[in-house]
Amino acid sequence: MNGLGELEAAVMDVLWQADEPLRVREVLNRLAGRTLAYTTVMTVLDNLHRKQWVLRDKSGKAYHYRPAGSREELVARTLRRMLETSLQPDVVLLHFARSASDRELAVLRQVLEERSDRR
């Protein structure tokens, strides 16, 4: 599954809050209240890069990491991938719709109406 673990989510929060790309050491220093090894944070960032949640650029010997998109964009992309890899995407959507809140259903209705109006 393309979801995030607790530490991955904490690292992403650090990156989303940053004004610029960060090196591993900078991410480590910003993970407040956690005692982690440098290599642990490096591995998490490598995993997030592999999952396409972060982009990295090499500067000298170090990589600088930044989010591959906003929180909302990346979550939506993950949901899209989950549907695309499901054997029964229609069943997944049915389960989601049945579990959706009134607010979520209102947003879905609005989008469906907008798409209908464009036709």
Report pLDDT digits (tens) over 71-99. 999 999 988 988 999 999 999 999 999 99
Q: Tell me, what's the pLDDT at 34?
A: 87
Tens-place pLDDT, residues 20-68:
999 999 999 999 888 999 999 999 999 999 999 999 999 999 999 999 9
| Domain definitions of the chain by residue range | 6-67, 71-118
Distance CA 19, CA 45 (A): 17
- Phi and psi torsions of 61, nearest 5°: -95, -10
Check whether 1 has a pLDDT greater than 70: no
The enclosing H or E element of 80 equals: helix 71-85
What CATH number does domain 6-67 carry, 1.10.10.10, 3.40.50.920, 3.90.105.20, 3.10.180.10?
A: 1.10.10.10
b/e per residue, 69-86, with b = 16+ CB within 10 A? Answer: beeeebeeebeeeeeeee
What is the structure's pLDDT at 2? 52
Q: Average pLDDT in the 88-112 region?
A: 94
3-state helix, strand, coil in the chain (%, to 5): 65, 10, 25
User: Other C-beta atoms within 10 Å of 100: how many?
Assistant: 13
pTM of the model: 0.80
Question: What is the Cα–Cα distance from 61 to 19, expressed in whole angstroms?
Answer: 22
